[in-house]
Structure 1
Amino acid sequence: MAQRRAFFSLFILLAVAGVHGDSTMKTMEKFSGYPPESDDAGDLGSLSFSVDNNSLERQIDELAGFSDTSAPSVTRIIYSKNDILARRYIKNLMGISGLSVREDAVGNIFGRWEGSHPELAPVATGSHIDAIPYSGKYDGVVGVLGALEAINALKRSGFQPKRSLDVIMFTSEEPTRFGISCLGSRLMAGDEALAQLLLGTVDSHNISFIEAARSAGYMMGQQELSSVFLDHGSYSSFVELHIEQGPILEEEGLSIGIVTAIAAPASIKVDFEGNGGHAGAVLMPSRNDAGLAAAELALAVEKHVLESGSLDTVGTVGIIELHPGAVNSIPSKSHIEIDTRDIDEERRNAVVEKIHQSAVKISKARGVKLLGFHIVNQDPPALAAESIIAAMSVASKQLNLSSKRMISRAYHDSLFVARISPMGMIFIPCYKGYSHKPEEYASIENISNGVKVLALTLAKLSHS
């Protein structure tokens, strides 16, 4: 029913797209700003914008209707039926906004507003719309629908971009179906190892990535994953609008977060093997308990992270699995998965090495085997470009919006786009910092503020 309502609303939008003007907008929040000086100041001048809050809020609700779970939760997994329907919805909105639309071999979607100097490297913005099981409706979505509304606001103002402006919807930022986060943006950044890995990757139902992509209309014919790769400098700059996914902005009563750096994780999988045995019959001095080895390593993770001396260093033990998993059986095997993050790559990697050293010591002290210490990924953090930070800061001041510089402890598609383009991020407050759960919420007022800052930032960057 939710899907039908969404399609009906979209049909109405399409029907009136060619005839309606600003007069059909019920609520248009006006604001004006002066993008910083440019080489072509005459084209910028004083820009008067209008953000259509009603339309933006409705689109967020409609997109949430494409879900494998019922409201208020959202579940939208890569190449699923609802993911395909949601993609169509985004492409239709891009068309309504007058953007030229293209898709690459894995389904990254690009909507372009061609500038007066299309030979120049374009400016890009965007995010993702996939959602982990039972999550909320704002993560990523604000950065896609908000980007489209920023473009619409610029168009309504009469602004003409010099550099073309692209809105990008990235494929599978969440590591759900195939266990790979930021799949689309990693490939765009030229990750050849990932392209090779995907050729043999299957999901929990033994459906290969290639098969799933083709079922959604991608990877057709002679298309290769390498066709997704973009050259360094393909974009002059990239800006992503996103909910904070943390409580800082809300707690401090601030409107805008200007991201200066994105922390990146190192993910680790560790396996221990002991002797096991009956919980009552094997005496304590004789035990080689793989479960206690995992528990001790979990405490070591916390210890090493705290020893770093920085609040920016974090570590999490998210998974501990014991075999055979019976209350009256000593664990003979244990599996532990660890996530460590920092904006300082050297400091984070030092923590990873200390965790490895502890795993070795624990295995020897407890008489268990360290079957494996596998670093799944060890992505480098990324710094935002000073030029983009400056543009976002000036935009916030011109709009009289309170702001602060901050880091992103969650990672985003921007982390990988930074490998091919200067990058920046705009954060807006979200309720209690909730994310990846149905209670995730951002007010339309805060979303609108983010759209305003994004619009002015894009205006500046397009004329740089």
Structure 2
Amino acid sequence: MRRCPAAPSALLLAAATLALLSFAPAAAALKLQVDGQAVVDQLMHLAQWSDDPSPAVTRLLFTDNDMKARAYVKQLMREAGLQIREDTMGNVYGRLPGSDPTAAAVATGSHTDAIPGAGAYDGTVGVIGGIAALRALREAGFTPAKPLEVVMFTSEEPTRFGLSCSGSRTMAGLLDPAYLDTLRDVNGSTYLQAATAAGYGAASSAQMVAGARRTPADLAAFLELHIEQGPELEKEGLQIGVVTAIAAPAALRVKFSGDGGHAGAQLMPLRNDASLAAAELAIFVEQAALGTGVIDTVATVGSWQVQPNAVNSVPRETALEIDVRDIDGPRRDGVLAAIKAKAAAIAERRKVRLQIETINQDPPAACGTEVVAAVEGAVRELGLSSKRMVSRAYHDALFMAQIAPTGMVFIPCRNGWSHRPDEFASPSDIARGIEVLALALAQLAGGSEGGSGSSGSGGARAEL
């Protein structure tokens, strides 16, 4: 469900401008207190729970370090005066009640799990920063009309079960429990078994998935704060990136099989070398992406396995994993179709056998016009520099866009580096991002200064 086109029409631009000009007075008048260094200190404290030594951060779903990180996030939520609940998939919510308890919530958040050898800022800025934003709003005396939530999504990274965004994917109704049951970790455990051992789960995977579902009736908007994971903001000296679209990946697993043979005895005219077939396809993958003529189309052959992988043996099997991304779904899918057709032609010409499996094919998302306008209104109110941009990496926001109008706020990160131990964002950039996030959330939620808020139920496993 795409909320607006990646290149907005004049009508949509006019609507966004009107929304920007009508930035809520209550949001504009808020006096926020955000301590960027305190947030960084919290990020560094969170980073200590890692399977690898500092400065690397490795934190896999439902492991001991993940559970300790979750406990710390909940501690910060309590200290911020938020109500806590956790759903069956392991998503953690902190809620600031609104004056209208029946209204759909406005949410923010990200993830705290980390791939092996990652850094301390990817995802975590959106969780710790989201908590700081809601705390700043509450301490400024702001009472939202709609409830505000910060979410720690479970397992954004595809580390333990090979499934990315399992929490947000489930919220959007895009995770088939039968497929989830087929996944295993290195120990042979299922997701349900791991979730149950961690204190989540349900009687079955179907019930576990159903227990985490969100709908437009209970979610009005979503806005994620994240480091850019790219170099544009830093290179251009800009403080905020206003994301207008989120690219989505599609992944193929391609296997070529030949007959192999001894490297000396198998004569060249008689060979059907699986590795050479794969090499041809890999070159074509690059050509197919470049052939769109659009910079937003990218394609990567990131995994290459050759059997028997011996210098004196003709390769008899080669398996490739291919990642294709774009903010335009039909254009990306056109590249996928071209790659599949080329693989079939190569297999026929080189007399090798071919297997192709589509691993995933998630829809790209355009950001909600009203969410983009709220972010730009906050940027203007704070007097910050910014640019509209697309997210070339994908995030939990990609799946939240299937439920409600969604957006993202990017802040610069040093050299554009991410998914590595030296990942870094400055305290001042983090503070600015949190201030933009807080004002935009206030705009989206509506409300007023000076209210005392209300107490309410946060849902399953709620605590105050």
TM-score, structure 2 normalization = 0.89
Separation in 2, partners of 1:440, 1:353: 36
**For residue 59 of structure 2, what is the amino acid of its counterpart?**
R
2:196 to 205, 214, 225: 214
Separation in 2, partners of 1:428, 1:289: 47
Aligned to 1:269: 253
Aligned to 2:340: 356
Correspondence 1:105-120 to 2 at 5 A? 105-120=88-103
Aligned residues with identical type, % of pairs? 50
CA contact (8 A) 1:110 1:168 kept: yes
Separation in 1, partners of 2:144, 2:138: 9
Aligned to 1:202: 184
Correspondence 1:183-194 to 2 at 5 A? 183-193=166-176
**For residue 277 of structure 2, what is the amino acid of its counterpart?**
A
Runs of 4+ in 1 over 6 A off after TM superposition: none
Deviation at 1:72, TM superposition (A): 0.4
Deviation at 1:45, TM superposition (A): 6.3
Separation in 1, partners of 2:286, 2:210: 40
Matched, 1:56 2:64: no
Separation in 2, partners of 1:390, 1:289: 55
Deviation at 1:169, TM superposition (A): 0.5
Aligned to 1:226: 210
Deviation at 1:225, TM superposition (A): 2.1
2:85 to 80, 93, 102: 102
Specify the SS of the correspondent of 2:130: helix
Q: CA RMSD in A?
A: 1.4
CA contact (8 A) 2:103 2:218 kept: no
Deviation at 1:157, TM superposition (A): 1.5
User: For residues 76-100 of structure 1, what are the alpha-carbon distances to aligned partners after superposition, in whole Å with 9 as ceiling and x for unaligned?
Assistant: 0000000001001111111111111
Separation in 2, partners of 1:314, 1:85: 37
Aligned to 2:110: 127
User: For residues 25-48 of structure 1, what are the alpha-carbon distances to aligned partners after superposition, in whole Å with 9 as ceiling and x for unaligned?
Assistant: xxxxxxxxxx96478x5x556211
Separation in 2, partners of 1:124, 1:179: 26
Deviation at 1:198, TM superposition (A): 1.5
CA contact (8 A) 1:234 1:420 kept: no
Aligned to 1:285: 269
Deviation at 1:199, TM superposition (A): 2.3
Change (3 A) 1:167 1:369: same
Separation in 2, partners of 1:45, 1:251: 29
Deviation at 1:406, TM superposition (A): 0.4
Specify the SS of the correspondent of 1:213: helix
Separation in 2, partners of 1:198, 1:375: 16
CA contact (8 A) 2:378 2:440 kept: yes
Aligned to 1:165: 148
Specify the SS of the correspondent of 1:50: coil
CA contact (8 A) 1:414 1:425 kept: yes
Aligned to 2:330: 346
**For residue 212 of structure 1, what is the amino acid of its counterpart?**
A
CA contact (8 A) 1:261 1:406 kept: yes
2:225 to 241, 257, 264: 241
Specify the SS of the correspondent of 1:172: coil
Matched, 1:329 2:318: no
**For residue 389 of structure 1, what is the amino acid of its counterpart?**
V
Deviation at 1:221, TM superposition (A): 5.3
CA contact (8 A) 2:23 2:377 kept: no
CA contact (8 A) 1:273 1:369 kept: yes
Specify the SS of the correspondent of 1:47: coil
User: For residues 143-174 of structure 1, what are the alpha-carbon distances to aligned partners after superposition, in whole Å with 9 as ceiling and x for unaligned?
Assistant: 00001111111122111211110000000000
Separation in 2, partners of 1:352, 1:51: 45
Deviation at 1:400, TM superposition (A): 1.2
CA contact (8 A) 1:38 1:463 kept: no
Unaligned stretches of 5+ in structure 2? 1-19, 448-464
Deviation at 1:402, TM superposition (A): 0.6
Deviates more, 1:271-280 or 1:230-239: 230-239
Aligned to 2:452: none
Specify the SS of the correspondent of 1:86: helix
**For residue 340 of structure 2, what is the amino acid of its counterpart?**
H
Specify the SS of the correspondent of 2:42: helix
Deviates more, 1:201-210 or 1:342-351: 201-210
1:319 to 303, 316, 323: 303
Matched, 1:369 2:369: no
Separation in 2, partners of 1:455, 1:351: 39
Aligned to 1:260: 244
Deviation at 1:75, TM superposition (A): 0.3
Separation in 1, partners of 2:217, 2:239: 31
Correspondence 1:84-99 to 2 at 5 A? 84-99=67-82
Separation in 1, partners of 2:121, 2:363: 26
CA contact (8 A) 1:314 1:342 kept: yes
TM-score, structure 1 normalization = 0.89
Deviates more, 1:216-225 or 1:170-179: 216-225
CA contact (8 A) 2:89 2:208 kept: no
Specify the SS of the correspondent of 1:184: helix
Aligned to 1:402: 385
Deviation at 1:233, TM superposition (A): 3.6
CA contact (8 A) 2:23 2:374 kept: no
Change (3 A) 1:63 1:192: closer
CA contact (8 A) 1:232 1:419 kept: no
CA contact (8 A) 2:154 2:167 kept: yes
Unaligned stretches of 5+ in structure 1? 1-34
Between Structure 1 and Structure 2, how many residues are aligned? 426
Aligned to 1:298: 282
